[in-house]
Structure 1
Amino acid sequence: MTMSTDTIRETHTPPMPTSAAAGEESPHAQRSELQAMAQEHLLMHFTGAAAYTEAPPVIMTHGEGCWIEDETGHRYFDALAGLFCVQVGYSHGEEIGEAVKSQMMQLPYYTNWGVAHPSAVRLASRVADLAPEGLDRVFFTSGGGESNESAIKLIRQYHQARGEGTRTKFIARRVSYHGTSYAALSINGMTNFRKPFEPLMHGVRHVSNTKRYMRPAGETDEQLTAILIEEIESLILQEGADTVAGIFVEPLQNAGGSLVPPAGYCQELRRLSDEYGVLLVADEVISGFGRLGEWFASTRFGLRPDIVTFAKGIASAHVPLGGMIASSKVVDTVLNGPAKMYMHGLTYGGSPSACAAALANIEIMEREDVLANVRRNEEHFRTRLESLLDFDFVGDVRGAGYHFSIELVTDTDTGRWTGPIAAEDFVHDHLTPALHQAGVLCRVAVDHGGTPLVQFSPPLIMTAEEIDWLVERVQEVFTEVAPLLTA
C-alpha cells in the first residue's frame, strides 16, 4: 500500500485489547466499570470509532520510573514518555505535587494580564537562563499548540510595528506537526489533519523536510543543505520577500520519524532569515527540555532562532504548561508599535500552580543530572537500535538523543513498502498488538510515503539496562511478525 507524499497517518496508537474471537464473549461483556464509562462518556483524542464500540480502551492507573501499569496489573515500558513529555518519569509526582500544594495554599490562581506573581516571574527568569543565547522574554501558555499560535501572533505584530504589514505568509516543512488550533493547524505539514477543517489561515507554504533516507547515494550533508536552502530561498523570492513573515521548523522533526538536520542547514536558515527579514521560529515542544541532551535542541544544532516555542517537558507533563521565548528585539519592537502591547492573552497562561510544578521539575532534572544521562546513553541507544537493521524489513534507524525512529520497508532497494500485507493492516492488526503484548508502548504509524514507523522517545531517566531490555523486546516482536512479510 502506498500513500501520496503529502498525506500521512501519524497518530499515536494506544494499547488496545484485541477483539474477542468467534464463540468467545464480546469485549463489552468483559469490560470493567471504568472501560464502560470511558466508552459511554469520554471522547478520546485522535481515537478511532472502534474504541467506543468494540475492544474498550486500556485504563492506565499507576506509574513508576519509566513504567506504567493498567487496571489489570499489566506493566508497560513507556518508550514514548506519554506523548514525548514525561521527562523525569513517573516517580516524582509527590515532590512536584508538594510544590503545587504549597503554591495552592499561598495563591491558587492569578492572571498574568497586567500583573505578575512570584512563580511565573521566577520560572520566566529560569527559562531565559536555559534558553539559547539572545532569547530572554518568556510568554506562558497551556500547551504546544497555544505556544505556536502565540508565536504567529507575535510575528504578525512585529512586522506591522515595523511598517511591513504585507508580511503575512509563513513557511513550514512537509509532514511537520505544530498543533491543532486554527493558526497552528494551518502551518502543519500533515495534510490529512488539515483537510477536514479547511479553509484555514491563508498564505502558508510548505517545503521539503530533512529526511535523508533514500536520498541519492553519495550525497553529502553540504549538498543536501544546498538543495533544501535553495528551495526555501526560491519560494521566498517567488512569493515576494516583503510578504513572508516567518519560518517554522522543529530542530529535530518528530513527524516523519526523527528527522535530523544536515550539517550547515541551521546556519543557512539563519542567514536566509536575516537576508530577507523573516523571523525564524524553532518549535521545541518535543525537542526542548532535555530530549536531545541539551535544554534546547536549537543549542545542539546551532539554530539561533528569533523565537522558541515549548511545552511538554518543561513540567514533565505533570501539569499543562507551554510558552514561547523571544528576543528583546522582537518583543520591544511590538511593545513600541501602534498597539503599545502584545495583543494576546490566555486565562491559564502562567498559572501559579503550573509554574510551581515546572520549577520543581527543572530542579529535579538538574539534581538527577538528567541531561547528562541522555548524553551518556545516546550512542548505546543508537547502537542497540541499529542492531535491528539485521532484519530484512528494517530500512533505516535515525534520530538523536532520546528520540529515535525505525522505518520499515519490504523493498530495501527502493525504500518502499510493497507487501505482501498492506502497511496499515500490518501496523494495526499485527505489529501494534505484538508490541503491547510484549509490554512496549511506543509510536507505531504509517508514514507519508506508506512505510511503517516505530518511534521511541522515552523518559530521559531511561538507563542503559532499560535500553537493552527495550531493544530485546522489540527484537522478539520483529522475529514474531517477520513471517508475515514472506511472500
Structure 2
Amino acid sequence: MTATTDFHPLAAPDASRIIRDHLWMHFTPHTGLTGADVPVIVRGDGAYVWDSHGKRYLDGLAGLFAVQVGHGREELAEAAARQTRQLAYFPIWGYAHPTAIELAERLANAAPGDLNRVFFTVSGGESVETAWKLARQYFKLVGKPTKHKVISRSMAYHGTSLGALSITGIPGAKADFEPLVPSTQRVPHTNFYRATEHADDYEAYGRWAADRIEEAIEFEGADTVAAVFLEPVQNTGGCFVPPPGYFQRVREICDRHDVLLVSDEVICAFGRLGHDFGAKRFGYQPDILTTAKGLTSGYAPLGAVLVSDRLMEPFQHGATFMHGSTYGGHPVSCAVALANLDLIERDGIYEHVLANESAFRSTLEKLSDLPIVGDVRGTGYFYAVELVKDRDTKERFTDEEANRILKGYVSKAMFEAGLHCRADDRAEPVIQLAPPLICDQTQFDEMEQILRHALTGAWAQL
C-alpha cells in the first residue's frame, strides 16, 4: 500500500457549509443536520481510512461490502490511468472494446456451470433490475408469457430502483415509493436463531424454509412465476447462512416448476465468502448470477449479470434485449476490474479468507459473554452480532429501545473509537462486520475490543 498522506483540499471548515447547503447524502436523515456533523473521509490505506482531522478508522464494512483488496492499491489506480489515456469511454451498444471483451471471458470462465453470457451494468441494483427484465422477456420468447412474477425472502435487500425495490423484502424501504411494480411475493429467510419451526434441527429447518418457496410458487401458479431471487448469505437481518441442503432443495423446486434461480451476489461474490462466487461455496447452480461491489473492489462503478447459455438462446433468433445503460461495461471500470481480479489471484485473497474465517468468527464469539449479545453468525468475512434484551429467552428490544441503543449509543461509540461498521435495525438489531479481505488477527482483535467497549456501554444504558 502506498496511499498518499495528503488530505483533500475540501477537507476544511468550508466543507461543512457545502455539505449543509448542497450535498444530498444517500440513506441519510437531514433534519437538523449541520455539515459539522458529517465525517469527511479523505484517504484510505489497507484496512483503514482517515478523516479530514487526521483521525484513523478501521474500515469494518469494506466501504459498503466492496473494498476487497483494501484501500490505496496503486495497481488499480494505475490500471484506471492507463485505460483513460488509451480509451476513456465508449459504449457497448452494438460496439465492443478490449477491456469489456477480456472481462466477459474471464467472468464466464470463472462462473459455475454454463453461465457463459455476461451483461455489464453499473451497480448491484441495476444488475437485479436487469435480471428480472431478462427473465420476463425470456419466458415471453419461449411461449410462456404469463411467467413474470418473482419470489424473494423476507427482509432481503435487492436494490432501490422500482423493480429491484419491488423484489426487496424490507417494508420500511418501500412504503414511500408505492405503488411499486406488482407481482412479487415473499417467503421466510433462514435465520435459524429465530426459528419457530424445527428449531432443534438445522438441516430440517432448511428444508422447511426451502419448501415455503414451492408453496409460494404453487399458490401463485407455476405458470405465473418467472424467478426466485436469493442471496447466498442474506445481508439484511444479519448474515443469514443457508442450512445444509437448502439451495439444493431450492434448485429442485425451481427445476420442477420451470422457475429461474437468481443468485444475487452483489455482496457475496469475489471473496466475501472465500470463493469467487457464493454459489460455489454452497454448491448450487443458478440460472442467473448478479454481481457488483467487489468486482472492482469499489475502485470504479461496475456490475455484471452472468447468464446461462439457455437463456441467451432465444435471443440468437431475432429478438433483442432492449435494455442497457450509458456506462455499463465502461472501459475504465472494466480495466480496474481486470486489475482487481489479478490482485486477488496474485495475493491469494480467497485462500486468505478461508484460512482466517474461523479466527474471525472465534474472535467475535468472545463477545458472547456479554449479556446483550444473543447470536454471532456468518461465514467468510461476513458476520453479524445480534443484540437481545435477554440472552436466555432471546427477548427482543422494543423499537424505541433498539433505536436508542443502536443509533443513540452503539453507532456513535464505535465510530468515536475508530471503527466503521454497520449498526442495522431494519430487522432485529445487529452489528454487521465485513472488512477488507486482507484483514488478519490484528484487525479482528481491534474490532472485538471496540465492539466490547461499545456494547458494554450500551447495556449500561438500559
Q: Give the TM-score range, shorter chain.
A: over 0.9
2:4 match: none
Which residue type is aligned with residue 347 of structure 1? T
| Structure 1 residues 81-137: Cα deviation after superposition (integer angstroms, max 9, x where no partner) | 000000011120x22121111111221111111111100000011111221122111
Cα shift at 1:419: 6.4
Tell me which amino acid in the other structure corresponds to 1:254: N
Cα shift readout 1:61-95 (whole Å, capped 9, x = no counterpart): 01110000000011100000000000011120x22
Displacement of 1:288? 0.5
Alignment partner of 1:376 out of 335, 340, 355: 355
1:42 corresponds to which residue?
A: 23
Matched, 1:456 2:433: yes
The residue number in structure 2 matching 1:199 is: 179
For 2:299 and 2:23, locate their aligned partners in 1 and report how far apart those are by CA, in whole Å.
21
Counterpart of 1:21 in structure 2 is: none
1:355-374 equivalences in 2 (<5 Å): 355-374=334-353
User: Which moves more between the two structures, 464-473 or 251-260?
Assistant: 464-473
Q: 1:259 to 1:420 in 2, by over 3 A?
A: closer
Pick the aligned partner of 1:289 from 254, 258, 270: 270
> Amino acid of the residue matched to residue 57 of structure 2?
Y
Q: Which residue of 2 aligns with 1:466?
A: 443
- Is 2:390 the counterpart of 1:411? yes
CA distance in 2, matches of 1:443, 1:167: 37
> Which residue pairs with 1:249 in the alignment?
230
Are the equivalent residues in 2 in contact too, given 1:80–1:443 (CA < 8 A)? yes
Shift of 1:226: 2.4
Instruction: Name the CA distance, whole Å, in 1 between partners of 2:433 and 2:266.
Output: 16
Q: Using a 3 Å threshold, how does the CA distance of structure 1 residues 418 and 321 change in structure 2: closer, same or farther? A: closer
**1:295-306 equivalent positions in 2, closer than 5 A:** 295-306=276-287
Contiguous gaps of at least 5 residues in structure 2:
1-11
1:361 and 1:311 map into 2 onto residues whose CA distance is 13
The aligned residue for residue 17 of structure 1 is none
Equivalent in the alignment of 2:5: none
**Residue 208 (structure 1) aligned to one of 168, 176, 188:** 188
Instruction: Give TM-score, length-normalised by structure 1.
Output: 0.90
Distance 1:316 1:307 in 2: 22
Pairing of 1:393-432 with structure 2 (within 5 A): 393-418=372-397, 422-432=401-411
SS of aligned partner of 2:193: coil
1:259–1:399 Cα contact (<8 Å) kept: yes
Partner of 2:330: 351
- Cα distance change, pair 418–477 in 1 and its aligned pair in 2 (3 A): closer
Query: What is the aligned partner in structure 2 of residue 280 from structure 1?
Result: 261
- Aligned partners of 1:300 and 1:213: how far apart in 2? 22
After TM superposition, the structure 1 = structure 2 runs for residues 54-453 of structure 1, keeping only pairs within 5 Å, are 55-92=36-73, 94-216=74-196, 219-336=200-317, 340-418=319-397, 422-448=401-427, 451-453=428-430
Amino acid at match of 1:456: L
Kindly provide the amino acid, as one letter, of the partner of residue 462 in structure 1: C
Q: Within 2, Cα distance between the matches of 1:139 and 1:214?
A: 38
The answer for the alignment partner of 1:12 in structure 2 is: none
Question: What residue ranges of structure 1 are gaps of 5+ in the alignment?
Answer: 1-30
Three-state SS of the structure 1 residue aligned to 2:228 is strand
Per-residue CA shift, 1:146-184, capped at 9, x if unaligned?
Answer: 100110111011101110000011100000001001110
CA distance, structure 2, for counterparts of residue 417 and residue 241 of structure 1: 37
- 1:252–1:258: 8 Å Cα contact kept in structure 2? yes
Would the aligned equivalents of 1:154 and 1:334 in 2 still touch at CA under 8 Å?
A: no
Return the letter of the residue paired with 1:341. T
Q: Which amino acid aligns with 2:129?
A: E
Describe the superposition over 1:1-36 as per-residue Cα deviations: whole angstroms up to 9, x where unpaired: xxxxxxxxxxxxxxxxxxxxxxxxxxxxxx821121
Counterpart contact for 1:150–1:344, Cα < 8 Å = yes
Q: Which residue of 2 aligns with 1:9?
A: none
Aligned amino acid, residue 171 of structure 2: T
State TM-score, norm by structure 2.
0.94
Letter in 1 for 2:395: R
Contact 1:39 1:51 in 2 (8 A): no
Superposed CA RMSD: 1.6
Write the distance in 1 (CA, Å) between the matches of 2:399 and 2:37. 30
Amino acid in structure 2 at the alignment position of 1:101: A
Quick one: which amino acid aligns to residue 156 of structure 1?
A: R
Distance 1:401 1:335, change over 3 A: same
Q: CA deviation at 1:420?
A: 11
Residues 207-226 of structure 1 show CA distances to partners (whole Å, capped at 9, x for unaligned) of 00011113257521231122
Residues 459/51 of structure 1: CA separation in 2 closer, same or farther (3 Å cut): farther
Alpha-carbon distance in 2 for matches of 1:432, 1:107: 43
1:27 — aligned with what? none
Question: 2:150 corresponds to which letter in structure 1?
Answer: F
Query: What is the identity percentage for the equivalent residue pairs of Structure 1 and Structure 2?
Result: 43
Q: Structure 1, residues 447-475: CA drift from partner, whole Å, max 9, x if none?
A: 42xx3210000000001221112212222
1:57 Cα deviation after fit: 0.7
Aligned to 2:13: 32
Shift of 1:250: 0.2
CA 1:100–1:125 in structure 2 vs 1: closer, same or farther (change >3 Å)?
same
User: Taking CA–CA contacts closer than 8 Å with sequence separation of 6 or more, which of the two structures ends up with the larger relative contact order?
Assistant: 1
- Give, in whole Å, the separation in 2 of the partners of 1:289 and 1:46: 25
1:303 deviation in Å? 2.2
Of 259-268 and 462-471, deviating more is 462-471
State the Cα deviation string for residues 258-277 of structure 1 (Å, max 9, x = none). 00001111001110111000
1:18 aligns to what?
none
| Residue type at the aligned position of 2:409 | H
1:22 match? none
Which position in structure 1 is the counterpart of 2:3?
A: none
Structure 1 residues 412 and 364, CA, compared in 2 at 3 Å: closer, same or farther?
Answer: same
Q: CA deviation at 1:379?
A: 0.2
Q: 1:68 to 1:51 in 2, by over 3 A?
A: farther
